[in-house]
Structure 1
Amino acid sequence: MAGRRRWSTEEILDTAAELLQTTDAESFSVRKLAAVLGTDSSSLYRHFRNKTELLRAVADRILVAAMDGYRPEGDWRQRITAVALRLRAAFGQQPPLAAIWGRYASGGAGSRLVMDEVLAALRASGLPDEQIPVRYHRLVVLLAALIAAEAGASSITPEETEQGLEQFRVAVLGADPERFPALAHFAREVRPLGADREAAFAEILAAHLAQIEASLP
């Protein structure tokens, strides 16, 4: 009787990424992945010690893809913006993995590429070395939150989107001006959370970088 096929690490990660397109991190399990591959969990634990390590590896491949072909160009703000837009685009193609990146982070090659470039760009800004780690941390937390939030919004179905818009219109345009005076005043100008996310991403990032620039010696 022939033995079961031995899957490579890359094949396991490919299948895990596909499975994570239809399930979240909580529902995902090594056992489910093994079932899809037609093998047992123990064979996968030869490649990854646990579920968290596997999820980190899947997320890291998105970072590797995002940084593929990247070359530093422009000043420090342009370099950080270019990296941020690459991350946004890469996770936009696989939205469920954005939340995994924000939750589990990564210590792989992709993570190191992103970290090294952002740290180098911050250093090029003229910030004192002792301030750079904290600035880096705040910046990456911001990017992870923005990208995960946008990915979450993009993963809902058209029917869910329309239902949400209808609820938004009812809640905002129908707001009682005596109980919610500010909301009633701005009702026709307030936009749904999912509107203009690209512009919001660019503006929030630009504002954060401007804050860093204002603190330069």
Structure 2
Amino acid sequence: MSARVVPEGSRQRRRPTKQGAVLSERLIVDTALRLVAQHGAEALSVRRLGAALGADPSALYRYFRNTDALLLAIADELIGRAQEGWEATGDWRADLRAMGLRIHRSYLAQPQAALLAAHRTTGRPHETRAVEKILGILRDGGFPDPLAVRVYHAFVDQALAFAAQDAAAAALPEAAGEADTEVWGEVYGRLPAETHPHIAATYPLLAADMQGSGYPFALELMLTALEALHPDTGGGAEKGHTKRK
């Protein structure tokens, strides 16, 4: 795609595509997500998208100036899906937990797209709403602004890092995924206690735990650390700051 985009008010395509749908930004993003799930990054081409939409590829320029702009829209859609149906409870720990698990789950539902998008900053509506919500959880929960910002940074990076790692594992070809799983039995399960006493002692627990994501427990560790840093507990380097009323 080239850098040529039509102003927002002039984007509507009046004539339906060959599939009978009216072209829209949402339709393009949904179609791109479907294609990326099937074919990976190579699906993000004007030719593939045009064919899937039943539209002239040049029509996509009316909505996205290039494929990177489309990728940012895909990233923003994943962030938006994480927020669907979420409502604050007023309990900062419960709300952060729910938001983190929602982010992780949204990316894992689209692992190929997560590999392309988890590290991007979109500046689009879903992302800005998510930043506002998470900062609101922290500030309304009594965290002073300097600490709230640092916690926001660590919280989001943790969720996205685990999402990207777990998405990479989920996106592996089936044979490669099975081979990785077999390593725990074929290699780690056979290591002798004489040379690897700690692995040998914990192997059944280790092999079982490594089959799932480490994110839920890592998230709980972060939340527990935040309890200790919260001004109400008298902990943390920021305790001299005034809480938000």
TM bucket normalised to smaller: 0.7 to 0.9
Q: How far off its partner does 1:193 sit?
A: 7.2
Q: 1:194, 1:38 → 2: CA distance?
A: 44
Q: Tell me the number of residue pairs that the alignment of Structure 1 and Structure 2 aligns.
A: 213
In the alignment, structure 1 residue 12 sits paired with structure 2 residue 32 = no
Q: How far off its partner does 1:39 sit?
A: 4.2
Indicate conservation of the 8 Å contact 2:36/2:42, yes or no: no
Determine which of 78, 96, 99 is the counterpart of 1:83.
99
**Matched residue SS, 2:38:** coil
Task: Report matched runs for 1:1-217 at 5 Å.
Answer: 5=17, 7-25=23-41, 28-156=44-172, 158-175=174-191, 180-191=196-207, 194-197=210-213, 200-216=214-230, 217=239
Q: 1:158, 1:23 → 2: CA distance?
A: 15
Q: How far off its partner does 1:192 sit?
A: 6.2
Q: 1:190, 1:66 → 2: CA distance?
A: 30
Matched letter for residue 214 of structure 1: A
Q: How far off its partner does 1:205 sit?
A: 0.5
Indicate conservation of the 8 Å contact 2:72/2:117, yes or no: yes
Q: 1:53, 1:193 → 2: CA distance?
A: 39
Q: How far off its partner does 1:92 sit?
A: 3.1
Q: Deviations over 1:22-59 (max 9, x none)?
A: 23336633343234334454321221122121011112
Q: 1:108, 1:8 → 2: CA distance?
A: 17
Q: Which structure has the larger Rg over C-alpha atoms?
A: 2
Percentage identity across aligned positions? 30
Q: How far off its partner does 1:90 sit?
A: 2.6
Q: Which runs of 5+ in 1 are unaligned?
A: none
**Matched residue SS, 2:41:** coil
Q: 1:105, 1:193 → 2: CA distance?
A: 32
Matched letter for residue 86 of structure 1: R
Indicate conservation of the 8 Å contact 1:52/1:104, yes or no: no
- So what's the TM-score if we normalise by structure 2? 0.74
Q: How far off its partner does 1:191 sit?
A: 1.9
| Inter-CA distance 123–186: structure 2 relative to 1 (3 Å threshold) | same
Q: Please, what is the CA RMSD of the aligned residues?
A: 2.7
